[in-house]
Structure 1
Amino acid sequence: MDLNTIHAVAHPATREQLPVWTAGDAWLAGGTWLFSEPQAHLRRLIDLTDLKWPALTVSETGLSIAATCTVAQLDALACPPEWTAAPLINQCCRAFLASFKIWKTATVGGNICMSLPAGPMISLTAALDGVCTIWQAGGGERKIAVAEFVTGDQRNVLASGDLLRQIDIPLAALKRRSAFRQISLTPVGRSAALLIGSVSSDGGMALTVTASTARPIQLVFAGIPAAKGLREAILQRIPDSLYHNDFHGKPMWRKAMTLRLAEEIRGELQALPGVLP
């Protein structure tokens, strides 16, 4: 869709060249949502592509994902063999259920900043203990966990003019054994519940609940809990008011699917070799 209210497009090549943020500005990365509907309030786009951030950086401390990294680039990453949780990357990329055109254009940062409950890049990076680096509008930067970055349906911690720079995934999270579950109302529908469980080297279990809830919820256990303990923890930590409500699924159905998928994940992780109940 043409954005006929845009009067200018800025092309900064460095952080110092980023223009002063004013009302009517918008960051432009992939633009798959930006150009999908009218944006009558916008007057200027700030194109991030000329910043030329490396899409993916693998280091001894883990994985750094630039906010401008596309879904296709992330899906194509050749992960080191010791990254046991690597299958989650492909599973979450495919939870988009989008065409190859979207895959090659949509960005990881854009999906996180949209902060939709069903954002699969939120699911992935939150479950892997991702940490966001935010360039603040007034200068400086701050870091915050992805699980805390998203605060609700299309709501997050970004202030006006703030820019998500990257998401860092620690090596320890990439080495955890994991289990993935996702469900939609229709075969090619938006995720109504997407849960990821993982087991750390010390036997602790983490469960990340997304899509069924308005924001990510993480539950951490010292070991693999019993079925009753897991169910009670979910019921205590996730109030009914937090379950998302739209035409992709009603809250009580999402709650039921969350409980069901969580138990499936618990059973799968418990059955892994070397994992103690």
Structure 2
Amino acid sequence: MDLVSVRTVRTPSRRDDLTLSPGDRPLGGGTWLFSEEQPGLTGLVDLTSLGWPDVERTPGTLTVAATCTIASLLGVRPDDSWRAWPLVEQCANALLASFKVWNAATVGGNVAVGLPAGAMTALLVTLDATAVVWTPDGGERRVPVEQLVLGVRTLDLRHDEVIRSFEVPEAALRDTTGYRRVSLSPHGRSGSLVTARWSAQGFVLVVTAATPRPVVFRFAGVPTADGLDGALTAVLGSDGDWYDDPHGSPAWRRAVSTRFAHELRAEAAAGGAR
């Protein structure tokens, strides 16, 4: 839609130009920003003009720029040892977006919106990614993505801070992953998205879409069914811990997420943690 309150659009070419005044908002792909009215928005700062490389590889780390589009991420050629890579396409498809949206929507934008159904958030949390955040004093800080999204549309991010990139440890990419998703309608927003990652070093379970923020469970090995139930109850013990909106009730989200968690546990146990 038209953002009729916008008065300025800036295209910085270097970090020194990247200042956010009151009323400014960083712009990536804009697929959410232009989808609804944005009260108080008076200026856009286009991050894509900074020319950040979509993906960079260094020993032990895959760095994904916040401005990397979903299409560009899908186009990365993975190493043969990256058993977790199918999760990228699975999470991209969880967005139920056309290739046209994939060509514009950015990984950082999907995380920064802070919606429970943000599938790129689920992907990065499952892969133990760390967000690199640029601070207005010219420095930066690092925040695990699982701690960056605090709730619905709420992030550990000040107005004048910008997500620069996400650092994904290569060790996580070598693990095996699992994925489960459900929505109330064939083309509806995710009501529950449960992902997992496992290896000989442990089992990680991530619940998103069904909860206001990503919820992560970590085990030294594949847990027993009772052990998993105990962990789920300890952290998500009441309907008040589950998200409630037109895309699913708390009771339904709790039921399907619990079922998915046990399916992934059984999958990991049957396959063996490698």
Q: After TM superposition, is the score higher than 0.5? A: yes
**Offset, 1:96:** 0.5
**Offset, 1:239:** 3.6
Residue in structure 2 matching 1:216, options 197, 206, 214: 214
Number of the residue aligned with 2:265: 266
Judge which range, 136-145 or 121-130, deviates more: 136-145
The residue identity in structure 2 corresponding to 1:258 is: S
Counting only pairs closer than 5 Å after superposition, residues 100-179 of structure 1 correspond to structure 2 as 100-179=99-178
**Offset, 1:177:** 1.0
Aligned-residue sequence identity (percent) comes to 42
Q: Which runs of 5+ in 2 are unaligned?
A: none
User: What is the distance in 2 between the residues matched to 1:150 and 1:52?
Assistant: 26
Number of the residue aligned with 1:229: 227
User: What is the distance in 1 between the residues matched to 2:142 and 2:49?
Assistant: 23
Question: Aligned residue pairs: how many?
Answer: 273
The residue identity in structure 2 corresponding to 1:275 is: A
The residue identity in structure 2 corresponding to 1:17 is: D
Q: Which runs of 5+ in 1 are unaligned?
A: none
Question: In angstroms, what is the RMSD of aligned CA positions?
Answer: 1.3
Counting only pairs closer than 5 Å after superposition, residues 47-58 of structure 1 correspond to structure 2 as 47-58=46-57
Query: 1:73 and 2:72 equivalent?
Result: yes
**Offset, 1:187:** 1.2
Task: Note if contact 1:82-1:175 (Cα within 8 Å) is conserved in structure 2.
Answer: yes
Task: Note if contact 2:200-2:221 (Cα within 8 Å) is conserved in structure 1.
Answer: no
Number of the residue aligned with 2:182: 183
User: What is the distance in 2 between the residues matched to 1:101 and 1:193?
Assistant: 25
**Offset, 1:223:** 1.2
The residue identity in structure 2 corresponding to 1:23 is: P
| CA deviations over 1:32-77 (Å, ceiling 9, x no partner) | 1111122241211111111000011133212111000111111121
The residue identity in structure 1 corresponding to 2:216 is: Q
> TM-score, structure 2 length as denominator?
0.96
The residue identity in structure 2 corresponding to 1:208 is: V
Query: 1:3 and 2:10 equivalent?
Result: no
Task: Note if contact 1:84-1:174 (Cα within 8 Å) is conserved in structure 2.
Answer: yes
**Offset, 1:264:** 0.4
User: What is the distance in 2 between the residues matched to 1:262 and 1:188?
Assistant: 23
SS in 2 for 1:35: helix
**Offset, 1:148:** 0.3
Query: 1:13 and 2:13 equivalent?
Result: yes
| CA deviations over 1:123-169 (Å, ceiling 9, x no partner) | 00000000000011233111010000000011110111110000010
Task: Note if contact 1:137-1:160 (Cα within 8 Å) is conserved in structure 2.
Answer: no
| CA deviations over 1:213-265 (Å, ceiling 9, x no partner) | 11111111111111111111111112422210001000011001111000000
SS in 2 for 1:257: helix
User: What is the distance in 1 between the residues matched to 2:155 and 2:87?
Assistant: 24
| CA deviations over 1:159-198 (Å, ceiling 9, x no partner) | 1111000001001110111111111111111111111111
The residue identity in structure 2 corresponding to 1:6 is: V
SS in 2 for 1:271: helix
User: What is the distance in 1 between the residues matched to 2:191 and 2:2?
Assistant: 31
User: What is the distance in 1 between the residues matched to 2:79 and 2:233?
Assistant: 37
